[in-house]
């Protein structure tokens, strides 16, 4: 009994000493300026850096350091490639396969300059005009220009001015060939192979065709999408507000606040049932009176989801499906020079803002650094804060706040905590998501499959879906293979139904320019496939396997439900443990992708986390009462 008492007293003295010492340190260090690290320099990381710079109007942050394995995208205006190999080697980055390989994801917004000097998008190709955060970022940089996108998102710049090439138009949905080995078309089977083909049609003719084929289902989907966009627009008011209720803990709270919780948490198929979009197995009455229900689901909606996410309707969330459908109707654009220019511009704007806030100005006074390093280990230390180490075990710095701006599934980072009541050098797995019910294993046992799996929900550990982008030059679409008889029937973009995708292994084909095509597929295309589809002269100019061994291009939404529930933006705080310091914190932006993924979604995650960090550092005043029309 006496031994127990002594131990108990000793532990309480240790806890009191540690917490008191921490309080004394922070009390004496009122002038301490926070050091912030951002892991990941793509859309989420670069936008977050800009937003933190906006909040820090009095230069209360010491520095912001962005860590990313890849360089900031170059300004294409500074790149003037010509036909020589020397110029291409100088101005064009290494091939995507060389950049990534087994090393990791890299940005999912990526563009490349081709041998002829034109730039094409490899990843996210288009942006919706109502994506206000992207539009605002562009408006903050007078050098950035929009390029309107019509009938498919290739992201090709300035084709056709000096050539006789006439851009194609229209969309085709390909359902696969129904007679193996026979690639000739007959009028009888043409509708089966091409359930929808709008090539050569005017916009009015296209509307009539789609209404005839999809009737009320098209109207129902359009109305649901319009309602969702109205709800989505409320997010921007919440992001601007400093009311205490607008500092959200998780994406689920955001969707709930704007009325999108249901669509974000159910499968797209379930959501389509709820808005009465017909299903071939349910609509017995429509079949009886001669209609063919379910076309909208099986053709247009499925093709969009396979193209954008490599997923069918049962695997998508309702919200992700609505976002894809909105892009089919809205005012779309791309950034001239490539959408990755948003990254470069956001960092430049952040530096300019910091330089204004941290007077007197001199070069480097903005205290924003971009370090081309891959982070392999993050260690929370009571005395030093969050320590970051590279793959060689070299300490890169200690920070008060670390923001992970890359998917947990891709980052390949070991998260550890240092220190216990007995030994300050003991390393233990960091319990992420502020949960304490996980089994703590030794550091040698730490990996994403069991330790993180015990403390994080499915959405944070489930692998992303693989997509391969292939840029093919020198080719001509083999119309015979695709059962197209006339040239004017060749559409600019070809999307696949489930059957078409299974048969070809393709998600989509888009004609970008003269003899230039872009494909999305689940696997690398073979030489035989490329030759069959584009002819003997076709060759691969660029191939991008997104993420190498670690990644993919799009989240696996797994049909909604518990799978679509995002984890907290605050992954870890030292104050959750014995005597930990508030300054030792880890935030996570990409949890926004649990229910839907897009460039704007990454920007929203960045803005939400920037607000949370600004609140924690006292950079903004939090309002307890709603003022005027703030909300």
Angle at 312 between CA 309 and CA 314, to 5 degrees: 120
Q: pLDDT digits over 310-327, tens only? A: 999 999 999 999 999 987
Ranges 129-138, 501-510, 545-554, 557-566: which has the least confidence: 545-554
pLDDT for residue 610 = 98
Q: Does the pLDDT of residue 100 top 60, yes or no?
A: no
Integer Cα distance of 490 and 168 in angstroms: 7
Task: Return the closest-CA partner of residue 528 out of 478, 467, 468.
Answer: 478
Token pair belonging to 84: 């020589």
Strand partners, 254: none
Q: How far is CA 418 from the centre of its chain?
A: 32
Q: pLDDT digits over 196-244, tens only? A: 999 989 889 999 999 999 989 999 999 999 999 999 999 999 999 999 9
Q: Does the pLDDT of residue 424 top 80, yes or no?
A: no
pTM score, two decimals? 0.86
Q: pLDDT digits over 347-379, tens only? A: 999 999 998 888 765 555 668 999 999 999 999
Integer Cα distance of 145 and 110 in angstroms: 17
Integer Cα distance of 418 and 394 in angstroms: 16
Starting at the edge strand found earlier in the chain, the sheet holding 61-68 runs 368-372, 61-68, 34-39, 401-404, 585-588, 570-573
pLDDT band at 331 (very low <50, low <70, confident <90, very high): confident
Average pLDDT, the chain: 80
Q: pLDDT digits over 425-483, tens only? A: 678 888 887 543 333 333 333 344 334 444 677 778 888 888 999 999 999 999 989 98
pLDDT for residue 430 = 85
| Mean pLDDT of the 286-315 span | 84
pLDDT for residue 77 = 67
Q: Does the pLDDT of residue 275 top 90, yes or no?
A: yes
pLDDT for residue 29 = 47
pLDDT for residue 13 = 34
Token pair belonging to 599: 């460039």
pLDDT band at 568 (very low <50, low <70, confident <90, very high): very high
């Amino acid at each position: 009994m006496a031994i127990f008492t002594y131990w108990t007293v000793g532990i309480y003295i240790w806890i009191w000493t540690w917490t008191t010492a921490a309080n004394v340190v922070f009390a004496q260090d009122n002038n301490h300026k926070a050091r912030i690290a951002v892991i990941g320099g793509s859309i989420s990381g670069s936008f977050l850096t800009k937003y933190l710079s906006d909040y820090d109007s009095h230069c209360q942050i010491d520095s912001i350091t962005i860590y990313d394995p890849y360089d900031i995208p170059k300004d294409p205006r500074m790149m003037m490639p010509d036909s020589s190999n020397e110029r291409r080697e100088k101005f064009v980055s290494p091939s995507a396969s060389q950049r990534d390989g087994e090393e990791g994801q890299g940005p999912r917004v990526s563009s490349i300059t081709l041998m002829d000097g034109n730039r094409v998008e490899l990843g996210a190709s288009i942006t919706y005009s109502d994506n206000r955060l992207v539009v605002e970022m562009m408006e903050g940089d007078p050098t950035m220009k929009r390029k309107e996108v019509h009938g498919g998102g290739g992201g090709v710049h300035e084709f056709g001015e000096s050539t006789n090439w006439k851009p194609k138009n229209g969309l085709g949905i390909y359902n696969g060939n129904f007679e193996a080995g026979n690639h000739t078309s007959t009028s009888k089977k043409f509708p089966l192979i091409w359930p929808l083909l709008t090539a050569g049609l005017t916009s009015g003719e296209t509307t009539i065709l789609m209404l005839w084929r999809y009737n009320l289902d098209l109207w129902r989907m359009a109305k649901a999408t319009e309602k969702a966009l109205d709800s989505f627009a409320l997010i921007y008011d919440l992001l601007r507000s400093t009311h205490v209720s607008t500092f959200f803990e998780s994406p689920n709270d955001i969707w709930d606040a704007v009325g999108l919780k249901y669509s974000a948490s159910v499968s797209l198929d379930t959501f389509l049932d709820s808005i009465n979009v017909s299903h071939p197995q349910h609509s017995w009455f429509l079949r009886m009176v001669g209609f063919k229900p379910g076309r909208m689901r099986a053709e247009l909606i499925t093709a969009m989801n396979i193209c954008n996410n490599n997923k069918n309707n049962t695997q998508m969330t309702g919200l992700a499906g609505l976002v894809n459908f909105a892009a089919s109707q809205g005012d779309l654009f791309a950034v001239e020079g490539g959408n990755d220019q948003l990254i470069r511009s956001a960092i430049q704007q952040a530096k300019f803002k910091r330089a204004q806030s941290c007077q007197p100005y001199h070069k480097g006074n903005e205290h924003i650094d971009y370090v081309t390093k891959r982070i392999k280990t993050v260690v929370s230390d009571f005395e030093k804060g969050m320590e970051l180490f590279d793959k060689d075990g070299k300490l890169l710095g200690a920070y008060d706040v670390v923001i992970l701006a890359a998917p947990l599934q891709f980052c390949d980072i070991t998260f550890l905590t240092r220190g216990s009541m007995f030994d300050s050098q003991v390393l233990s797995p960091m319990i992420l998501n502020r949960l304490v019910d996980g089994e703590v294993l030794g550091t040698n046992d730490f990996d994403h499959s069991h330790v993180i799996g015990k403390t994080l929900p499915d959405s944070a550990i489930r692998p992303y879906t693989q997509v391969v982008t292939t840029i093919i030059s020198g080719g001509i679409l083999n119309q015979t293979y695709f059962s197209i008889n006339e040239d004017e029937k060749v559409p600019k973009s070809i999307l696949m139904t489930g059957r078409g995708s299974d048969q070809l292994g393709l998600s989509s084909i888009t004609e970008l320019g003269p003899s230039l095509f872009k494909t999305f597929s689940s696997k690398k295309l073979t030489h035989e496939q490329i030759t069959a589809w584009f002819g003997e002269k076709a060759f691969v100019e660029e191939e991008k396997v997104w993420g190498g061994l670690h990644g993919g291009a799009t989240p696996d939404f797994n049909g909604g439900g518990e799978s679509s529930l995002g984890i907290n933006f605050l992954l870890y705080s030292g104050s959750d443990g014995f005597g930990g310091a508030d300054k030792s914190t880890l935030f996570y932006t990409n949890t926004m992708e649990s229910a839907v993924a897009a460039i704007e979604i990454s920007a929203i995650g960045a803005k939400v986390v920037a607000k949370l960090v600004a609140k924690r550092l006292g950079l903004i005043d939090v309002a307890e009462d709603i003022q005027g029309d703030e909300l």
